Amino acid sequence: MFINPQADSKAYVSGTNLFRQQETNPLSAQYVVELLVSTAAYANNTTTYYPSAVGMAMAGYKDWSLDFYMTGAANVCTVTVEATDDDVTPYWHDISPSGYERVTNAVGVASYANVAGAAVQGIWDFDELNSKLVRVKIVSDAGGAVSTVRLYVRRKAL
């Protein structure tokens, strides 16, 4: 017998003379939190993609958010978010302005960058992200000192 994990379960409650219904595996409880990178020795003068250059699949998920923290003594790291629907010969589009930063409620931000010697942090939210693949791009300058970079991503179904 096949049991659908998304199926509703029904039960009769005699005290109220009603049928009670509840979802077994609600979409609102389906999410994934992943650590993309946590390092105190981020390389200078590089461009890096997380989780990789081919990105992460959004199959089964519709919302996506990035929790980021970057700091460095002398160099600057810039973070942007890219997406594509073509997994054969992808052309990556910078979708950064379509997200909003939940700590400050900033919208339309093209990128976030730490100023040399200072930290930048926030949560960048992309609701209804209807893309096949997503990746995070970090570009660091040739400053000469290491940067601390931490990226967490959360994908959710509803």
Q: Residue 86 is part of a domain; what is its CATH number?
A: 2.60.120.20
Q: What are the tens digits of pLDDT across the range 72-107?
A: 766 678 889 999 999 888 899 999 999 998 888 888
Helices and strands of the chain, counted as H and E runs: 0, 14
120 is a domain residue = yes
What are the pLDDT digits (tens) for 46-62? 889 999 999 999 988 98
Using pLDDT thresholds of 50, 70 and 90, give the confidence band for residue 1: very low
Residue 110 maps to a domain: yes
Burial class (CB in 10 A: 0-12, 13-18, 19+), 36: buried
Domain of 103? 28-156
For residue 100, is it within any domain? Answer: yes
Of 36, 59, 35, 34, the residue nearest 48 (C-alpha): 36
Residue 5 scores a pLDDT above 60 = no
- 71 has which bridge partners? 119, 148
pLDDT band, residue 153 (cuts 50/70/90): very high
Tens-place pLDDT, residues 106-138: 888 888 877 767 788 889 999 988 899 999 998
Q: Model's pTM, two decimal places?
A: 0.79
Domain presence at residue 147: yes
Domain count, the chain: 1
Predicted confidence at residue 2, as pLDDT, reads 46
Q: Which pair of tokens denotes residue 58?
A: 């959004």
Rounded Cα distance, 145 and 143, in Å: 6
DSSP string, 91-153: --EE-GGGSEETTTTEES---EEPPTT-EEEEEEEETT---SEEEEEEEE-S-SS-EEEEEEE
Question: Alpha carbon 13 to chain centroid distance?
Answer: 42
Q: How far is CA 106 from CA 67, 148, 149, in A?
A: 14, 23, 21
